[in-house]
Structure 1
Amino acid sequence: MDRFDARKAIVAEFEAMSLLEKIDDHALKVPRGDRSGTVIEPWLTDQWYVSTKPLAEKAIAAVESGEIQFVPKQYENMYFSWMRDIQDWCISRQLWWGHRIPAWYDEAGNVYVGRDESEVRKKYDIRNDESLRQDEDVLDTWFSSGLWTFSTLGWPQQTEFLKTFHPTDVLVTGFDIIFFWVARMIMLSTHLTGQIPFKTVYVHGLVRDGQGQKMSKSKGNVLDPLDIVDGITLDELLDKRTSGMMQPKLAEKIAKQTRAEFPEGIASYGTDALRFTFCSLASTGRDIKFDMGRVEGYRNFCNKLWNAANFVFENTEDKDTGANDEPVELSSVDRWIISALQRTEAEVTRQLEAFRFDLAAQALYEFIWDEYCAWYLELVKPLLWDESASVERQRGTRRTLVRVLETTLRLAHPFMPFITEEIWQRVAPLAGKSGPTLMLQPWPEFNPERLDEAAEGDIEWVKAFMLGIRQIRGEMNISMARRIDVVLGNVSALDQRRLDENEPLLKKLAKLESVRILAAGEEAPLSAIALVGDMQVLVPMAGLIDKDAELARLDKEIGRLDGEVKRVGGKLGNAAFVDKAPAEVIDKERAKLAEAEQARARLLEQRERIATL
């Protein structure tokens, strides 16, 4: 009989026997299964339990003594709070899958435990004609997975795998299963093998969607990594997110959200871009708010590395790269990038050892994009194309190009393995390296003897000089194609040396017509000024720009910014808007206002300078 029909029958029986005094309505919460919606009833049954307090004592001691370390360390507190208030553990489950409970019952209900039925009969002297029935329950998934570190290596036999790999070094996991999995592995390993299962527990954050929500199929916000790697159309994505749902009524809402977030589906970004994204977001212990824009940015980073490699190949293949250590002459530019690479090697290694994958990725990104690609490849072009340069000088530059690239690929390989392997196969012979794969190459090691602070100082001076010129061109709207005269003031002996050594390079890359130093007592012409340390870089303005046209352009832009400041300022001054708008909207408007005010101030200052010409 159905339980609900049985309840009605019992009430009817009470009425028939005149035992029912009254029927009242009671408001109560009825628990229901989240998938089936079925009413859940309390039901007392026999279950298997593990007494965990004795197991927990060893597991607590292993962390307190430092044998096992948590990274970040604060998660030890979560671990201890669970373990010091631990309750007996119910390990039996009524499911169709899992490790079946190794217990058998006879006709009288007696229980026998063993590895299999034959062992039970032998151990307890049970005749073959006596019926035994195995318990139908299975072990809790966390109990089975708690055995993982040693059961997969051949335990209880003392196999070579077990001796070699147990305990292992690092467990990588999320904070939400520290008790369910990590603690159980430590308890079961210390109890059954006498060893800790691992030495370090690295706790990463959870990957959440773009709005910070936990990803789940019921919410329809799950992102399949393969869809980001290979791409997926909108129709395919909608079908994937709304089919086979436990709650079909949510399908329309999920479809609407998906169309809004991915109107064109998801583009193909590749494995390396996705891997680098996750590394760059992996700040210790914090949840990751996933942003597809970051993946797109790191796909561009992969393309940047690919294009840089092509530039290197165009200028080094079929040429002398000093692969056999022939004599070379290294320019200050070459010595600078070698020194910068040493610092990057040290920083990436240091951050990886500290499990700061985000900072390691940042150091690598900054070196490849900001130093190697943005500066070094530009600075060596005049050296590569200088027909008057010595053989040793050109060989030195080509050797530096390929060796720095090859070492950088080894540093980047754990983050972006596919593109680095592809490039390495081509650059290795040029750099004098051999081997079947980049994976088997040694990790780059920091060499303090290759640091060159003098070269670093010289090239930072060159970079500051060129950035100053670029800033003046941008502010004064001077075409990059137009060659300009530069006058230098307050020049020290060090500035003079650096100018003498790098003047041809500066003239070529900064498009300078001439560079001269103000004579003693000479009055500086009316100029736009940039500072390189204490040295003044002056670009005389007379005859360089159309004064009236530039003033008109600036007046128009200042007028536009006046309107923007008034509009945004008025919005923020409106109490009704400030009281009702979300905090993030208000912050965005305040940022807009500050940006407009700063831009307006810069243009007013620029207008004042040009008006005096």
Structure 2
Amino acid sequence: MTPPENTPAPAQLPDKWEPAEVEDALYQRWVDAGYFTADATSDKPPFSIVLPPPNVTGSLHMGHAMEHAVMDALTRRKRMQGYEVLWLPGMDHAGIATQTVVEKQLTAQGTSRHELGREAFLEKVWEWKHTSGGSIGAQMRRLGDGVDWSRERFTMDEGLSRAVQTIFKRLFDDGLIYRAERLVNWSPKLQSAISDIEVSYSDVEGELVSLRYGSLRDDEPHVVVATTRVETMLGDTAVAVHPDDERYAALIGTTLEHPFTGRRIPVIADSYVDPEFGTGAVKITPAHDPNDFEMGKRHDLPMPSIMDESGRITGTGTQFDGMDRFEARVAVREALAEQGRVVAEKRPYVHSVGHSERTGEPIEPRLSLQWFVAVDKLAKSAGDAVRDGRTTIHPESLEPRWFAWVDHMHDWCISRQLWWGHRIPIFYGPNGEVVCVGPDEDAPTGEGWTQDPDVLDTWFSSGLWPFSTMGWPEQTDELAKFYPTSVLVTGYDILFFWVARMMMFGLYAAEGDGRAAADSVPFHDVFLHGLLRDAEGKKMSKSRGNGIDPLDWVDRYGADALRFTLTRGANPGADLSVGDEHAEASRRFATKLFNATKLALMNQATVGALPAREALTDPDRWILDRLDAVVTEVDGYFDRFEFGRACETLFHFAWDEVCDWYLELAKAQLADEATAAGTRAVLGHVLDVLLRLLHPVMPFVTETLWTVLTGGESLVVAAWPTATGVVPDDAAAQRVADAQKLITEVRRFRADQGVAPSRRVAARISGLDTADLTGLSGQVTSLARLTEPEADFAATASIEVRLHAATVVVELDTSGTVDVAAERRRLEKDLAVNEKELAGTTAKLANESFTSKAPPQVVEKIKARQATAQAEVERINARLSALAAQ
């Protein structure tokens, strides 16, 4: 494949690296060239990833950006390794979120979905989706996502809808989908059941009310119970105590009169009750509390629902009917107090309350007639697939959490009282008939036939995503080539919701299709990344206001800087703290690569066959051996999904070894006709391989540099480097290490003496021949900024450096090289900076609130900064004391 003629690769590098000037055009060039379009008929080995579908209503946040950077790194590397790669994009219809958006628009227009009717409302939703939804695609292009846009899918498109209806029909016919009255998470604002993942729990300060059942006389039978939701006592059908609690033994089996309804409610014994908590007695409201519901089933208690869909009290026959649940909470408490049944003053009580993530309101546990998936068999299969190794979870440490979830999963409520979504394909007849209609079956018609009004939970359709997006239930070329998918990349926080559902549905569908066990899982590897946190270690969220718009970083620092920052911290299961300083550091790294390559081109670096190793210098052999080791290390890290370690290895090799050392050591060799050609070839080769290794995480800058350096078509389709297997030259590496140590120690000594880094100092070096460094003497004197001594040389200072084979003595004449007053001012300024850093880090580490809540890696980072500042304060004070003596 070749790029279009109207967008040729640049013939030369610009003056400086400006990401905004190249990224958009470069990405479009890749897309137009068809690099990201997968060929299902290819004979190359397959590698496939499906994009976790973002909500059509949303935009990419920093967590998305990290996922996308990791997935793009995986797919770009595999493409370079010769795989036929499919990275399949798409979006989720986001039932609740999308319906809420459109309903708000209708409210602003003075109408509602109920006034429009179902069909007209759905037309409005589709209209919104086509005109306003899907801005995420443009954002993905800005990030450089190498997805196959020709296969973009949507959970409500025709093919995926067919898959949803097919799997529903299979499950229903197999008795795994049923309808029952059960307790669900209920949103009064949405007037719908919502899923567990759409409920977030937070501590709130409520009030604990202790109320008295039975006689108001202390010497007559009575029980005191406490509750934070006193309005639910209108639906109480029992009071429960522990069977071994002697305080209530005489009451077990008796009944007490309800204060408002006049019903007689029994006192029951159940071992669930904790006799040590509170009074040891609890009120039981089966229709409005999950634990009470289970107890109600055990004791066959009545389960009256006392609230309607909007959260208003109903059906109690009391004065509270018609009140909002929160209004009733106050009214019931006051009425109980008037009866003398509030036995203690209300008191603040902090407790965890579930809130709807979409509306922000407290959810209401509510008994409701809903559709469920029976999950026992499906969940066991999902657990077995990990146990027997068909799917591997990375990191392995999260496997116990997987098993804890799938081994104890409750039946899944899949119906939602919404209009936007996949409508449940169940039809009810006039004589009580219930018919499930498959995709190729005609729905029953005639008088009295109606379709179930509910739609399916969004997680139902997204649970089919890995295979429905490839054309299932049809047996397509894509399924044959790319399914099961290779890797799933997602956050560990939705391991139990989305991942478990995909695993259950994937295994169930494969069983129905007759797939072999090895090909039954929807993905072979699951890479679980951690959460994004800010620089202080706090989880990024809209409510905290500490989120970062990834496109803001793209605008300010470039897409490569964003991607490298996020990928550098993406190790399995580990949370990542990021701030602007991290993105700025990554931007500097991109600039460093740009400048290094530009310097190499200015010195006529070439890419081609390397000279024989015996013709190369020690630095040339050393850097080639280090490059070989880095290729092996990076391959291992990528294969183990340790992206952060791969990036760290590449960063330090590129910056510390290639730029800071090899390029400097090479300058003397480039100036020598005997070594110049070999060094140009080595330098070109090293940069060629380095840019290939970095391309998956920094595609734009590497593509720009590599195409100019090599004249190649594109890194997207270039070959991934492999280690040469050449036995490393340990002797050359030792000599280079000794030269580095000698240069570093001389530089440090000069700095301590206050000699300006740019100033050359006369010096006499003894012992280079004994240390086996005569071949590197030119590099030592050049990089340490030393000059040959004159005849009248008189040393004013000296330093001894112990190397591998011998001690080298460097005598220097530093007379007249130090401006004492200027040096003192410089040191005092540096001292103030380090004292401030020391004070700040010490105060932060002394703050127990910070150290107890911040992630361990953040605390360790602060400790390291403190230690560095302490060492600098001591060094600078010692130097100031020495200056005072001059």
TM range (shorter): 0.7 to 0.9
Residues 1:178 and 1:549: Cα distance change in structure 2 (over 3 Å)? closer
- Unaligned regions of 5+ residues in structure 1, if any? 14-19, 122-127, 231-267, 517-523
Measured against aligned partners, the alpha-carbon deviations of 1:547-572 in whole angstroms (never above 9, x if no partner) come to: 99759967996999799989989x99
One-letter amino acid of the counterpart of residue 486, structure 1: R
| Aligned residue number for residue 540 of structure 2 | 215
Classify the secondary structure of the residue corresponding to 1:446.
coil
- How far the C-alpha of 1:283 sits from its partner, in A, is 2.6
Residues 1:525 and 1:273: Cα distance change in structure 2 (over 3 Å)? closer
- How far the C-alpha of 1:510 sits from its partner, in A, is 2.7
1:60 is aligned to 2:337 = no
Answer whether contact 1:352 1:360 (CA < 8 A) is retained.
yes
| Aligned residue number for residue 212 of structure 2 | none
Counterpart-to-counterpart distance in 1, 2:864 and 2:607: 54
Residues 1:36 and 1:9: Cα distance change in structure 2 (over 3 Å)? farther
| Aligned residue number for residue 415 of structure 1 | 697
Residues 1:94 and 1:215: Cα distance change in structure 2 (over 3 Å)? farther
Counterpart-to-counterpart distance in 1, 2:874 and 2:680: 44
1:505 is aligned to 2:505 = no
- How far the C-alpha of 1:57 sits from its partner, in A, is 1.8
TM-score, normalised via structure 2 length: 0.54
Question: For 1:39-438, what aligned pairs fall within 5 Å after superposition?
Answer: 43-116=366-439, 118-121=441-444, 128-194=445-511, 195-230=520-555, 268-316=556-604, 321=606, 323=608, 329-386=615-672, 389-390=673-674, 393-429=675-711, 434=712, 436-438=713-715
Answer whether contact 2:610 2:682 (CA < 8 A) is retained.
no
Q: Which has the higher strand share?
A: 2
Answer whether contact 2:610 2:681 (CA < 8 A) is retained.
no
Q: Point out the more displaced range, 32-41 or 395-404.
A: 32-41
Answer whether contact 1:486 1:537 (CA < 8 A) is retained.
no
Classify the secondary structure of the residue corresponding to 1:169.
strand
| Aligned residue number for residue 815 of structure 2 | 545
Alignment counterpart, residue 462 of structure 1, candidates 729, 734, 739: 739
| Aligned residue number for residue 527 of structure 1 | 798
Answer whether contact 1:304 1:369 (CA < 8 A) is retained.
yes
| Aligned residue number for residue 184 of structure 2 | none
Answer whether contact 1:525 1:540 (CA < 8 A) is retained.
yes
Residues 1:527 and 1:552: Cα distance change in structure 2 (over 3 Å)? farther
- How far the C-alpha of 1:203 sits from its partner, in A, is 0.6
Answer whether contact 2:838 2:870 (CA < 8 A) is retained.
no
Classify the secondary structure of the residue corresponding to 1:48.
strand
Percent of pairs identical after alignment? Answer: 35
- How far the C-alpha of 1:586 sits from its partner, in A, is 11
Residues 1:589 and 1:197: Cα distance change in structure 2 (over 3 Å)? closer
Answer whether contact 1:106 1:131 (CA < 8 A) is retained.
yes
Residues 1:96 and 1:24: Cα distance change in structure 2 (over 3 Å)? same
Counterpart-to-counterpart distance in 2, 1:307 and 1:173: 36
Residues 1:578 and 1:179: Cα distance change in structure 2 (over 3 Å)? closer
Classify the secondary structure of the residue corresponding to 2:765.
strand
Over the residues paired in the alignment, what is the CA RMSD in angstroms? 4.1
Answer whether contact 1:484 1:539 (CA < 8 A) is retained.
no
Counterpart-to-counterpart distance in 2, 1:182 and 1:273: 30
| Aligned residue number for residue 879 of structure 2 | 603
| Aligned residue number for residue 24 of structure 1 | 336
Measured against aligned partners, the alpha-carbon deviations of 1:135-183 in whole angstroms (never above 9, x if no partner) come to: 1111112221111111111212222211211111111111111110111
- How far the C-alpha of 1:271 sits from its partner, in A, is 0.3
One-letter amino acid of the counterpart of residue 160, structure 1: D
Residues 1:604 and 1:154: Cα distance change in structure 2 (over 3 Å)? same
| Aligned residue number for residue 759 of structure 2 | 481
One-letter amino acid of the counterpart of residue 185, structure 1: M
TM-score, normalised via structure 1 length: 0.76
One-letter amino acid of the counterpart of residue 406, structure 2: M
Residues 1:352 and 1:109: Cα distance change in structure 2 (over 3 Å)? same
One-letter amino acid of the counterpart of residue 471, structure 1: R
Counterpart-to-counterpart distance in 2, 1:400 and 1:474: 32
Counterpart-to-counterpart distance in 1, 2:359 and 2:537: 28
Measured against aligned partners, the alpha-carbon deviations of 1:94-115 in whole angstroms (never above 9, x if no partner) come to: 1232211111112234211012
Answer whether contact 2:426 2:451 (CA < 8 A) is retained.
yes
- How far the C-alpha of 1:365 sits from its partner, in A, is 0.5
Answer whether contact 1:145 1:181 (CA < 8 A) is retained.
yes
- How far the C-alpha of 1:4 sits from its partner, in A, is 6.1
